[in-house]
Every structure is written in structure tokens, then in C-alpha cells.
């Protein structure tokens, strides 16, 4: 899993309308449930795209800012997040999730681009 893009997210303030938009545009369908972290999406608003070609989701809620982010799979989210900070990045949130199952985090690179990390710990 290490160091490959493994997931994408499109987050907006109206996730139902946003999912409808991408469904109409690309024919995506969704299984709606919860995200691994409330920092990603409000409860019950995460639409896991079932046919987008890459694991991803369209989600959010009124309390979350619109953004697009991709996640890189790593073996150790905390270690990768620390390394990102050592290199000049800034932690946005995390690690969050269930260690041994699925953990996520986000950081901004030195230019302010938002990047996600995902892994088993």
C-alpha cells in the first residue's frame, strides 16, 4: 500500500447535491455512511463512490469547507505525518480512526496544498 494514491474525496457544504452533481456528470453511484473521522464528513453524509475507478467519496456537511483531497497510502500514518512536518508541511488533523483497521490524517505541504494520508496505523 505504501506511497500510492489510494483514495480521493470531494467535500462540500451540501453533500446530497454534490453527489447528485457527480452522479449526473459521471454516472457515479454511492453507498452512504460514515467517514473514518468527523473532520472529514458529518455523520451519515459520506458517499462512498462505488464506480469511480478509484476508491473515493463525495461528502461533507454545512460545517465543513469545500475541498478536494487525495490520500496516499502509507504503512504508518503518524510517522508519515511527522515526516511531512519535518519537511515543512503543517498538520491539519490526525491521526484519527481505528489503529490496526484504518487511520487517516491530513496536512498541507509547504505551498498550502491539502494532502491526505491513510493506513492501518
Q: What digits encode the pLDDT tens for the residues 67-78?
A: 999 999 999 999
Domain count, the chain: 2
**pLDDT attached to residue 103:** 96
User: Per the omega criterion (within 30 degrees of 0), is the bond before 4 cis?
Assistant: no
Question: Within this chain, do residues 17 and 53 fall inside the same structural domain, yes or no?
Answer: yes
> 58 and 4 in contact (C-beta within 8 Å)?
no
Range of the domain at 89: 71-119
CATH number at residue 18: 3.10.180.10
2 domain residue, yes or no:
no
Q: Rounded to the nearest 5 degrees, what angle is found at the Cα of 3, between the Cα atoms of 88 and 64?
A: 65
Closest by CA to 35, choosing from 5, 16, 67, 9, is: 9
1 domain residue, yes or no:
no
Q: Which of 68, 86, 104 is the last residue of a domain?
A: 68
Cell (9 digits) for 51: 464506480
pTM: 0.88
Closest by CA to 34, choosing from 10, 60, 71, is: 60
Amino acid at each position: 500500500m505504501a506511497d500510492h494514491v489510494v483514495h480521493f474525496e470531494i467535500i462540500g457544504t451540501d453533500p446530497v447535491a454534490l453527489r447528485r452533481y457527480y452522479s449526473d456528470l459521471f454516472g457515479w453511484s454511492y453507498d452512504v455512511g460514515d467517514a473514518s473521522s468527523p473532520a472529514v464528513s458529518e455523520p451519515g453524509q459520506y458517499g462512498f463512490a462505488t464506480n469511480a475507478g478509484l476508491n473515493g467519496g463525495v461528502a461533507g456537511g454545512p460545517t465543513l469547507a469545500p475541498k478536494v483531497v487525495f490520500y496516499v497510502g502509507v504503512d504508518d500514518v503518524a510517522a508519515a505525518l511527522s515526516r511531512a512536518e519535518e519537511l515543512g508541511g503543517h498538520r491539519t488533523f490526525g491521526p484519527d480512526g481505528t489503529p490496526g483497521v484504518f487511520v487517516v490524517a491530513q496536512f498541507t505541504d509547504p505551498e498550502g496544498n491539502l494532502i491526505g494520508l491513510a493506513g492501518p496505523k
